[in-house]
Structure 1
Amino acid sequence: MLHKNATEFLTQFYTETHRINLDKRLSEVYEEIELSGTYKLTLDELNFGACVAWRNSNRCIGRLFWKSLKVADGRSISTFEEVKTAVFKHLEFATGNGKIKPYITIFPPESPEGMAPLRFWNSQLIRYAAYKKNGQIIGDPAQLDFTDVCLSLGWKGKGTAFDVLPVVFQFEDKKPLFFELPAHLVKEVAIQHPEYEGFNDLNLKWNALPVISDMVLEIGGIHFPSAPFNGWYMVTEIGSRNFGDEDRFNQLPKVAAAIGLNISGKDMFWKDRALIELNYAVKTSFDKEGVSIADHHESSHQFMKFIQQEKKLGREVMADWSWIVPPNAGSTMKVFHTSFENKVLSPNFYYNNPVWKKSNTEPLNKCPFHIFSKK
């Protein structure tokens, strides 16, 4: 299978980049596989593979910019300090002065036996903790269990709604390690509304950089279980989902009250109105601070442009419709009225079973979006 995957990827790489001597490279790779059970991608192959994995990501609406992804080669990293340095460098470079840059740091690949040399425990490098106090949850409920894990490892949070969790990782099957992120590397935006002063009393804020850190990057049959990557936020990810969902920060009732809406009657349209103003506050706040963010209408337009660009090159865009269509005003966008084939292409990003969570992965084994590491 590895021979087949390597052949398909290298053929694609040499074809799209107009290179010669494919047969020579394939011979080298086949020999390496026979000797070691795996092979090493060249830096050019790694860069191309990471970019195409983004291009092929079925659930991402922001793929128009796939060629702009910058790749940091961390395949030789093997110590605590090296991991820490690589993460800090990633955050610093990708965040910049607020003009977010798409960036990926690729750590060592799995062994031929399927053992991961390094796994991050965080779903994203920057997440807010959650604490249960007096029957209520302070912070992000989605991180409640993981916060307990961090506390059990010796981390001490401040107990606020926006405590940044530590970065937790482990080498192979060794004891997990963690480090905290310096405040200057975690750019945050205070969420304020330009028209409703009462909204600002909610004291909301969000981080500028969504670095996904628990997915597997697959290139030519080689699995990279630790390859944190980022683009920039789409406004509804923060406003509608992180703040709006009832099982997350659940801010809609508070937003509605802050802007003077009646939430006591049978009419539930206050939710729609509050959601619009919440997203508007997120967008205007990021814009005011000069931090990159896309609105859902803009993202939809860009995705349709991406489809047209790919079509001209003879490539069909695969997409998961339920993920591509934004949670707000979906029917006003062309993506809502477009059907997609949802075939998984390679290279790509896949979900993995969380290292820290004992879960039954059997039902997910048939899911095309999942790859499981042995550790």
Structure 2
Amino acid sequence: MVSTMEEVAIEYLTQYYTENELPELDRRVNEVRKMIKQTGTYVHTRGELAYGAKLAWRNSNRCIGRLFWERLNILDERSLNTEQGVAQALFRHIEYATNKGKVIPTITVFKQGSRIRIWNHQLIRYAGYQHGEYVVGDPASIELTQICEQLGWQGAGTDFDLLPLVISIDGKEPIWFKIPDDLMMEVELRHPKYAAFELLQLKWYAVPIISDMRMEIGGLTYYSAPFNGWYMGTEIGARNLADEYRYNRLEQVADVLGIETKKESFLWRDEALVELNKAVLHSFQSANVSIVDHHTAAKQFQQFIKAEEKQGRKTTGDWTWLIPPMSPAQTRIFHQSFENEWQSPNFYYEKAPYEVD
């Protein structure tokens, strides 16, 4: 049975007022009922929005870092209605969240509904250039890179060109905005033991700011609500730089470190993967940029489970995402099971504006 907006709104408001031990729930419920009856929708107070965003993180089945859900900082930008204004708000998010390397979990929320759309998968990401069967840069960014070029942007054609922000309002042609250089923090990757690793000239950006998921709170949808935590090392070292359909650098890592690759039974991929991940963690830590290793993150997730149990709540999760992509059996999560039941508020995947059915 499909719930009405009024029912979903009241369910969320009840949760918000109850968990925060706030008075006057009945007054607020009556106010929202009246707004929905008159206009077909309602507007969250700043407190309702902020707590709803935190709950969306707490309910995110695929996130191993939910222990810190209460630390999420909310930047309320619902008053903005121009591409330039949105871009400036996103620049503020990047600067605030990066915090000179001491990453702050942050979400910027724009108007409810789909008027404002951010075309980027992440606010900060590298371009991908298709040259026949060969790709320079990030293969995951090829389509957006081509769109940026059609809009007039031109990159240098390297493996690590930063894409501009692409923003559209009311379905109009999107506008691109270059991210100011002084807002960008990138980490040059070095190995703690092997100097030859630097020959690979690898680097990665400091903060992962997801910008293509919609957030739903109490029956209202926010299509533009970019958010970030800090990196878990394996996201970079075991996925972004290692996956065959991404940067696919494992064989190069093996070559510069002198790891024999003639037979799969030599487990050269595993050895190269470990060394690459060591380099990522070492480099971020040396640069004083927030990051967590996957074993620590897995232990933090166990703390989250215990904290939820203490509050009488069951932890849901998508096991295939919660287990880290390296040495998963060495974490307790690997030996647990979770119900992959999605609760609201939450974040949901949404097709990019340039994607078609």
- TM > 0.5 fold call: yes
CA offset at residue 199 of structure 1?
A: 0.9
State the match for 2:347 in structure 1.
349
Task: Say if 2:231 and 2:291, in contact at 8 Å, map to a contact too.
Answer: yes
Q: SS at 1:277's partner residue? A: helix
Residue equivalent to 2:161? 163
Counterpart in 2 of 1:227? 225
Alignment check: 8 A CA contact 1:199 1:255 kept: yes
Task: Check the 8 A contact 1:52/1:347 in 2, yes or no.
Answer: yes
The aligned runs of 1:43-192 (5 Å cut-off) are 43-110=46-113, 116-133=114-131, 135-192=133-190
SS for the counterpart of 2:316 is coil
2:132 and 2:170 map into 1 onto residues whose CA distance is: 38
Alpha-carbon separation, structure 1, partners of 2:191 and 2:159:
20
Q: Which of 10, 15, 19 does residue 18 from structure 2 map onto?
A: 15
- Code of the aligned partner of 2:293: D
The number of residues matched between the two structures is 354
C-alpha displacement of 1:235: 0.3
Give 1:267 deviation, angstroms. 2.4
Secondary structure of the residue aligned to 1:300 is helix
Output the amino acid matched with 1:15: T
- Paired residue for 1:296, among 294, 298, 302? 294
SS for the counterpart of 2:88 is helix
Corresponding position of 1:370:
none
Counterparts of residues 290-369 of structure 1 (less than 5 Å): 290-358=288-356, 360=357
The amino acid that maps onto 1:353 is: K
Q: Deviations over 1:30-50 (max 9, x none)?
A: 000011110000011111100
Q: CA deviation at 1:82?
A: 1.1
List gaps (5 residues or longer) in structure 1.
111-115, 361-375
Cα deviations across residues 258-298 of structure 1 (Å, max 9, x unaligned)?
11111123425000000000000000000000000010000
CA distance in 2, matches of 1:215, 1:163: 23
Contact residue 260 and residue 266 of structure 2 kept, 8 A: no
How far apart in 2 are the matches of 1:266 and 1:10?
56
User: Aligned equivalents of 2:130 and 2:39: distance in 1?
Assistant: 49
Percent of aligned positions with the same letter in both sequences? 48
Residue of structure 2 equivalent to 1:4:
7
**RMSD value, Cα:** 0.9
Following superposition, the deviation at residue 81 of structure 1 comes to 2.2
Amino acid at match of 2:42: Y
When residues 266 and 174 of structure 1 are mapped into structure 2, their CA distance, relative to the original with a 3 A threshold, is closer
Q: CA deviation at 1:80?
A: 2.2
The answer on whether the counterparts of 1:196 and 1:258 sit within 8 Å (CA) in structure 2 is no
TM-score normalized with structure 1 length: 0.93
CA offsets, 1:11-62, max 9 Å, x none? 0001001011111100000000011110000011111100111000010000
Contact residue 87 and residue 167 of structure 2 kept, 8 A: no
Deviation at 1:132, TM superposition (A): 2.3
User: Partners in 2 of 1:161 and 1:268 — Cα distance?
Assistant: 29
Q: Which runs of 4+ in 1 moved over 4 A?
A: none
Output the CA distance in 2 between the equivalents of 1:337 and 1:185: 41
Aligned letter for 1:101?
I
SS for the counterpart of 1:349 is: strand
Stretches of structure 2 that go unaligned for 5 or more consecutive residues are none
For residues 74-100 of structure 1, give each alpha carbon's deviation from its aligned partner in whole angstroms, at most 9, with x where no partner exists: 111101221121011100110011000
TM-score when scaled to structure 2?
Answer: 0.98
Task: State the partner residue of 1:250.
Answer: 248
Q: C-alpha deviations, 1:133-160, integer Å up to 9, x for none?
A: 3642110011111111111111111101
> CA distance change for structure 1 residues 261 and 8 in 2, over 3 Å: closer, same or farther?
same
2-structure distance, mates of 1:97, 1:169: 26
